[in-house]
Amino acid sequence: MSTIADDMSSVEPDAVLSWRFDQLDAAGYPEAAMLLLGQRTDIDLHLATSLLRNGCPIETALHILL
């Protein structure tokens, strides 16, 4: 039986970063914020995207996330 950690270990780090950038872009983050947030795997991507999707201004979202 494989675990989620086992499944994630087989994923290329570049693919994960690319996916994170795509998600942040789709949520509406500008490029500079995407680069900052996308590389920080300690930041909850779902929270980052939901903040903007629910109307939070980018500056406020960055303040919350960082």
Q: What is the DSSP letter of 29?
A: -
What pTM was estimated for this model as a whole?
A: 0.78
Mean pLDDT (whole number) for 13-29: 93
Q: How far apart are CA 48 and CA 64, in angstroms?
A: 9
Q: How far apart are CA 66 and CA 61, in angstroms?
A: 8
At residue 12, the pLDDT reads 81
Q: How far apart are CA 52 and CA 33, in angstroms?
A: 12
Name, in order, each residue with C-beta under 8 angstroms of 17's C-beta and a sequence gap of 6 or more: 38, 39
Mean pLDDT (whole number) for 55-64: 97
Q: How far apart are CA 56 and CA 54, in angstroms?
A: 6
